[in-house]
Chain A
């Protein structure tokens, strides 16, 4: 294996100049995006450096409880991100649905991959468990958030149609079947498109990182396939759980449409 070329603070500063020049151009042309760009870039640097420090510490300790605590924190943050992106809110139940869907999909897929497929020793080795879970969460989060958003907005918009079917004696499941299908579709399309162009248009981020870090391309490819299949499964089951739970939350034991439980996000 090749020796990884170390990145020095000078290298990073040179790259950062790009962003600073861009911010300067924005200021000159009054594009109004300069500050946002600088703040986001600074945040990114600070966040990643902190994560690097903490990860170094976690890798050193590597106990099961620490890795689990880290995983739960990641799921909780992802659940909050999903909730924050919804334009129609289901309250505490909505947060529970988002986090539950993430835990169920990404969590189960990550455990499956660690215990059955990759089999590091021990299975909770943080070098494997944390990046794998992070990669899964980052991708399945979009599927879950898009699926939920699509379902709740279309249920509000299509209220007359749903109620027309209920009034003809259809069950709630029948009445929202089409909307549920569209929501699943919307949640899964980005993953399907991503798999379709994998390796042709762009090299996925993880693979790029591995190759740059000196791994043999074939090893990187095999890991990337593993990740894509995991993401597809995780996104699919995550979106499925979120869509099924959201549908159930918007109905009751009399098969009514209960939009009264859904509140529009307060304007910011």
Chain B
């Protein structure tokens, strides 16, 4: 069997795990579980943002073969709240690349907007666009539609599905919404008392 695009083995910290996560290419895996079960902490470990035990591989190559920033630009984590450091939206996009911004229903000129006029929903959508602009192979999405109305949620779902199917890419999508699991999930992980298990496997 060929290795999956992304594999995490025995991931654990003082608080979570040990858990295994496998993401095959061109698939979206949804993840659910009660709040406080460690979903966000797991995503932080997978992006190598928190110290952890266990191994991470992308296309067979170990995370320790590259430096932290390179790993994180390939395994992109979108936190549930996106922070902004520059004054204008465009300051956060490499080369002011607007491709994904328009796909999410914004005009090009959103890049010249000041960050402080953004609503929480706009922050969330632009946070996704800013992550996609650096072209990660794996997306780790922490409730990316939590602050969005149905219409914008649909455009985010379609954009991610399209992005993942385009190339050797995969997504892990944390969601509490059963209807969304149906729409976007090719596979489903659940965190419960027994740990991290694949539903229906």
A interface residues with partner B (beta carbon < 8 Å): 160-161, 163-172, 178, 252-258
Whether the pair B72, A161 counts as a contact (CB closer than 8 A) is no
Instruction: Determine if B77 is an interface residue (Cβ-Cβ < 8 Å).
Output: yes
Interchain CB contact (< 8 A) of A164 among B67, B73, B83? B83
- Chain B contact-residue range equals 20 to 34
Instruction: Determine if B11 is an interface residue (Cβ-Cβ < 8 Å).
Output: no
| Most chain B beta-carbon contacts within 10 A, residue among A168, A172, A254, A255 | A168
Whether the pair B134, A168 counts as a contact (CB closer than 8 A) is yes
Which B139-180 residues sit within 8 Å CB-CB of chain A? none
> Known interface pairs A164-B79, A167-B77, A169-B73. Does A178 touch B49 (Cβ–Cβ under 8 Å)?
no
Residue of A nearest to B74 (CB): A169
Residues of A with C-beta under 8 A to B68:
166, 172, 253-256
A–B complex contacts, Cβ < 8 Å, 5 sampled: A163-B83, A169-B134, A252-B51, A255-B67, A255-B68
Shortest beta-carbon contacts, A-B, top 7: A169-B73, A254-B68, A160-B83, A255-B68, A164-B83, A161-B83, A161-B85
Q: Given the complex of chains A and B, what is the CA–CA distance between A226 and B70 in angstroms?
A: 48
Instruction: Determine if B81 is an interface residue (Cβ-Cβ < 8 Å).
Output: yes
Residue of B nearest to A160 (CB): B83
Residues of B with C-beta under 8 A to A164:
79, 82-85
Min CB distance A104 to B, Å, is 29
Whether the pair B72, A166 counts as a contact (CB closer than 8 A) is yes
Whether the pair B69, A255 counts as a contact (CB closer than 8 A) is yes
Residues of B with C-beta under 8 A to A256:
48-51, 68
Q: Given the complex of chains A and B, what is the CA–CA distance between A257 and B130 in angstroms?
A: 21
Min CB distance A144 to B, Å, is 26
